[in-house]
Amino acid sequence: MGIAERLFGSARDRFGKEVAARVRAVGSVARADYDPEKFQVVYQGAQGAEPAVINLETVFRETRGASAAARKAAIGRLADIAALPPTPEQWEDVRAALRPVLRPVPAGPQFEIVSRPAARYLSEMLVIDTPSAMRYAADSDLRRWGVSRDEAFATAHRNMARTVTASLDEARSRTGTPQPARHTDNGDAYLTSLPLVDGWLATIGRITGARPLAFSVSNSTLLLAYETPDTEVLTEAFAIAEREWRQAARPISPAPITVDDDGNVVLYTVPEDHPAHAAVKHAQILLAMDAYGPQTEHLRGIAGPGDPFPAALKGFRSPEGAEVTAASWADEETSLLPEADLVLFPQPDGDLLMVPWAAVAEEAGLTPAEGYHPARYRVGSWPDPDVMERLAKLAAEA
């Protein structure tokens, strides 16, 4: 610990305390406290009112390394949350204001935000739309309203009807246009949430006659492209999406969501022999690393003695440019493996046995552990010697 941290606390704690101080200055706030363990500010808008929570992790990460002015403005926006009207107590008073939003996976469940998996490395969250801002709905809100998650999300989807209709009209007007269409949200339309709405992607596909690729690159930008045999056009769409995702203040995904032949909303994939495979794979690896990285950091931070070790997802690029992900399975150690392209078995001589994930999953009977998104797989000692021998043969054939 450096001298600055000893005198003033860590950067996280300084940030949290500054937000709490700004929230206390809001006229309608009776009390505000910084919770360093959960990294949030808990405040009460009036004596006896139910406490509300401001989660700090996302904004803290966004402003790390930013200028003092940008950091001050971000803290001000967090403090403005406390000035919002209280969350309605009754379901009938709030149902019309609910909206779904597509977001990166939250690192840990401590935030209590209403969320559910949306595609492999993304989450769908529930927000309350107000004239001045939006507020994430919490599990405690659902309990107070007496509704289930499914009912709340279904209501939020129905509330997207006006935005859905406008987007379908736009798709009809652009039929035959090969370039991605950029939809920029002013904060009211929730355009980046459109891929979540049941049937939207499938309807876009029927209108245009091509499989839609919805890049929700940030909270405010949706790029809508289409599958095409023109490899140059397709790879350029991925390049544009990655560039905008990297530059975004609040990025979501560089990889597109699409709809499969059964109507399921999934991440877009192509076979290994597809000319655009490298671009598609690259985008998925970026998204996977972005999801597993914070999750690994969170799990290691809360792990206690005897808990399984959260293995990291690692990315590798060959001299030829091929990209893969890998996770290490250490013998005689209980671990939580992220799903990867390869499983690495460290050998006594320092070498690595590298086996395709599908082969390890089948031979070792891997199944997802409960409670993790993206998925984690609990493993212990290596499989029996005969299984390891088969895995070595499969590795040699891969």
Tens of pLDDT along 224-281?
Answer: 999 999 999 999 999 999 999 999 888 999 999 999 988 889 999 999 999 999 999 9
Nearest to 156 by CA among 194, 185, 182: 194
- How many whole angstroms separate alpha carbon 133 and alpha carbon 77? 10
Residue 175's identity, in one-letter code, is T
**pTM of the predicted structure, to 2 decimals:** 0.83
Three-state DSSP state, 112: coil
Q: Helix, strand, coil shares of the chain as percentages rounded to 5?
A: 40, 25, 35
- How many whole angstroms separate alpha carbon 164 and alpha carbon 194? 7
Tens of pLDDT along 107-119?
Answer: 766 557 899 999 8
| pLDDT range class, residue 1, cuts 50, 70, 90 | very low
Tens of pLDDT along 36-90?
Answer: 988 888 888 765 567 788 888 878 887 887 888 888 888 888 888 777 777 788 9
Q: What is the pLDDT of residue 122?
A: 95
- How many whole angstroms separate alpha carbon 218 and alpha carbon 354? 35
